[in-house]
Structure 1
Amino acid sequence: MITSLAAQAGPVPAAVYGATPQVARFESVARRGGGIGPGEAAHVARAAYGGRVLAVHSVEGGAVYRVRLLVGGQVRVVLVDARSGRVLR
């Protein structure tokens, strides 16, 4: 069975992907309920689109993370599924 490198490496420290300290603070809380935390959501969004993470917010009752990225001088909003870690949009 093949697993992703991200799954093998575990959580990514906030300093690595340029997220705010607030994201790091909430990572452990999100992990208790299963799925991915805001830090991983930021990492997934940045891996898909590049840029710098501006903010990560939980939406739709915690089922989705809305990640705001600064890419090429423009703000891009990426939705990441909180359970699977897949980019939804």
Structure 2
Amino acid sequence: MDWKTIIYQYSLQLTRNRWDAEDLTQEAWLKLMNAIEQKPERTISKAYLYRVPLENNIGKHQTPPASMMQGGVWCFRHSSRAAYDLNTVSGL
């Protein structure tokens, strides 16, 4: 079985969604290719193949830092004006 198939099947188990699994596979594949390009003598184990998509998936589901949250609203510009604008638009 080739590396891309291993990564895709594991990504599918993690996400339970074909579209997300494809995205996760692409991201993991790019990281893998960059790692090999930086260090060509690197040995790629199955554990490494599983670790890359797992870390990418965990990163996608982390909550934003508390400093970017105001009143339960995620503010792109950390200011009270941004929170007001978001709340006004959403009708809160």
* TM-score exceeds 0.5: no
**TM-score normalised to structure 2 length:** 0.31
The answer to which structure has the higher strand fraction is 1
**TM-score under structure 1 length normalisation:** 0.31
Query: Going by fraction, where is helix more abundant, 1 or 2?
Result: 2
Whose radius of gyration is greater, 1 or 2? 2
